[in-house]
Amino acid sequence: MHIPVLINEVIQYLDPKNNQNFVDCTLGFAGHSKVILERIKPNGKVLGIEWDGEVCQKIAGEGIERLIAVNDSYTNLKEIAKRESFGPVSGILLDLGISSWDLEQSGRGFSFQEDEPLDMRFNNQLSIINSLTAQEIINEWSEEEIAKILAEYGQERFARNIAKNIVDTRYRQPIETTFQLVEVIRKSFPRSYKFGRAHFATKTFQALRIATNNELANLQNVLPQAMELLAPGGRLVVISFHSLEDRIVKNFFREQQKQNNLQIITKKPVVAGSAEARDNSRACSAKLRAAKLIINN
Ligand SMILES: C[S@@+](CC[C@H](N)C(=O)[O-])C[C@H]1O[C@@H](n2cnc3c(N)ncnc32)[C@H](O)[C@@H]1O
């Protein structure tokens, strides 16, 4: 089951009040949205955007009152809000990354602990829009391109070794499943290397997921749209799960604050308290940043 991360902090910084409207750009199983909907009774609405058709269908099927669930990418945020005649918008939430359902039940190869096909697309139904799969990256991209994404998106120290072993292995047989890839990664570390607490495949899997879904570009694309959509005084809250995402959010907020468009309301990124970090492993790496719109462009 997916437990929403930093839920108290999301509510604190979004500050939802009766009859206001909010956008949840990463609806998932509506963990955050359900709590927001409680606070904006009786007439406030949430526009929930979810790229994954399967997840969106499940949540729409719950018939949650005052939730408008849309199966689309948040990169189309302004267009979606216009199409749904949704507004004024008092706050926007982005809870980036992956849900427990993606890891445990999607069957799409997000987890190195399950033997599944290497797909890793969030939106594997809308294949015309996002046809790139992790399998294609692994079996068709050049060694240099693979090494580059592992180094950049995974900050994997052994990116070059892993990329070389991927190319050597696929020459004999295509790498089609997560367990096949895990074996290649395992062989890419020096024998003497002492593994830390994280699984040795963590960084490679993270890098592949980011590349498959174009996640960093998506984030860069949605932030200015979110700012344009907010009503004056409206709040933008972003939860990120690795330093690359966090840096994009931090730099965007700082730049907009300099231009007097946004006021940053979290001096430092907000992280989970010890109890939440103990009970929900996803929360350990979560960082929340929030800002308030000063002027509406
Ligand atoms: C961390 S989960 C959100 C969980 C949700 N906040 C909850 O508490 O139930 C992130 C969700 O964002 C979705 N997602 C990823 N990229 C997206 C995009 N570009 N547009 C819309 N949804 C996206 C994923 O499919 C996933 O369901």
44 lines ligand 1 (CB under 6 A): no
Mean pLDDT of 149-154: 97
> What does the block give as tokens for 205?
């899997």
164, pLDDT greater than 60: yes
Atom of ligand 1 nearest to the CA of 32: 8
Atom of ligand 1 nearest to the CA of 49: 21
Mean pLDDT of 247-270: 97
116 lines ligand 1 (CB under 6 A): no
Residue 296 banded pLDDT, cuts 50, 70, 90: very low
Q: Which residues in 254-292 are b (16+ Cβ under 10 Å) and which e?
A: eebeeeebbeebbeebbebeeebbeebebbebbbbbbbb
In this structure, are strands 67-71 and 89-95 parallel, antiparallel, or unpaired?
unpaired
Q: How many domains does the chain have?
A: 2
Residue 185 banded pLDDT, cuts 50, 70, 90: very high
pLDDT, residue 297, reads 47
In a domain, 170, yes or no: yes
Question: Which residue's C-alpha comes closest to atom 19 of ligand 1?
Answer: 73
Q: Which of 195, 212, 229 is the last residue of a domain?
A: 212
**Burial zone of 191 (CB within 10 Å; 0-12 exposed, 13-18 middle, 19+ buried):** exposed
Mean pLDDT of 170-196: 91
In a domain, 163, yes or no: yes
278 lies in the same domain as 232: yes
206 lies in the same domain as 264: no
195, pLDDT greater than 80: no
88 lies in the same domain as 23: yes
178 lines ligand 1 (CB under 6 A): no
pLDDT digits 0-9 by tens, 259-286: 999 999 999 999 998 888 888 888 889 9
CATH number at residue 70: 3.40.50.150
In a domain, 117, yes or no: no
pLDDT, residue 129, reads 56
Q: Which of 212, 244, 260 is the last residue of a domain?
A: 212
pLDDT, residue 295, reads 64
Cα of 189 vs centre of ligand 1, distance in Å, is 32
Atom of ligand 1 nearest to the CA of 4: 8
Question: Which residue's C-alpha comes closest to atom 5 of ligand 1?
Answer: 28
Atom of ligand 1 nearest to the CA of 5: 8
219 lies in the same domain as 86: yes
36 lies in the same domain as 95: yes
CATH number at residue 186: 1.10.150.170
In a domain, 135, yes or no: yes
92 lies in the same domain as 163: no
Rounded to an integer, what distance in angstroms lies between the CA atom of residue 227 and that of residue 168?
Answer: 46
Atom of ligand 1 nearest to the CA of 29: 9
17 close to 251: Cβ distance less than 8 angstroms: no
Q: What type of residue sits at position 100? A: S
43, pLDDT greater than 50: yes
Of the candidate ranges 20-24, 88-92, 138-142, 199-203, the one whose mean pLDDT is the lowest? 199-203
pLDDT, residue 194, reads 73
In a domain, 200, yes or no: yes
Helix (H, G, I), strand (E, B) or coil at 160: helix
Question: Which residue's C-alpha comes closest to atom 13 of ligand 1?
Answer: 26
94 lies in the same domain as 226: yes
57, pLDDT greater than 80: yes
Atom of ligand 1 nearest to the CA of 26: 12
Cα of 174 vs centre of ligand 1, distance in Å, is 30
Residue 125 banded pLDDT, cuts 50, 70, 90: confident
In a domain, 17, yes or no: yes
Cα of 26 vs centre of ligand 1, distance in Å, is 4
Which pTM value belongs to this model? Answer: 0.95
CA dist 145 → 12, 41, 153 (Å): 42, 50, 12
73 lines ligand 1 (CB under 6 A): yes
For the chain, what's the residue count? Answer: 297
In a domain, 58, yes or no: yes
220 close to 254: Cβ distance less than 8 angstroms: no
Pocket test for ligand 1, best of 9, 76, 99, 103 (most atoms within 8 A of CB): 99
Of the candidate ranges 159-173, 206-220, 253-267, 268-282, the one whose mean pLDDT is the lowest? 268-282
In a domain, 248, yes or no: yes
Range of the domain at 272: 7-101+215-293
The mean pLDDT value of the chain amounts to 94
241 lines ligand 1 (CB under 6 A): no
141 lies in the same domain as 171: yes
Atom of ligand 1 nearest to the CA of 213: 16
pLDDT, residue 244, reads 95
224 lies in the same domain as 244: yes
231 lies in the same domain as 190: no
229 lies in the same domain as 200: no
**Helical residues (DSSP H) of 134-273, grouped into ranges:** 134-140, 143-154, 159-172, 178-186, 202-213, 215-229, 243-258
64 lies in the same domain as 136: no
287 lines ligand 1 (CB under 6 A): no
> Which tops the pLDDT comparison, 190 or 232?
232
Rounded to an integer, what distance in angstroms lies between the CA atom of residue 10 and that of residue 12?
Answer: 5
Residue 126 banded pLDDT, cuts 50, 70, 90: low
> Which tops the pLDDT comparison, 1 or 293?
293
pLDDT, residue 115, reads 96
Question: Which residue's C-alpha comes closest to atom 18 of ligand 1?
Answer: 73
Q: Which of 197, 212, 227 is the last residue of a domain?
A: 212
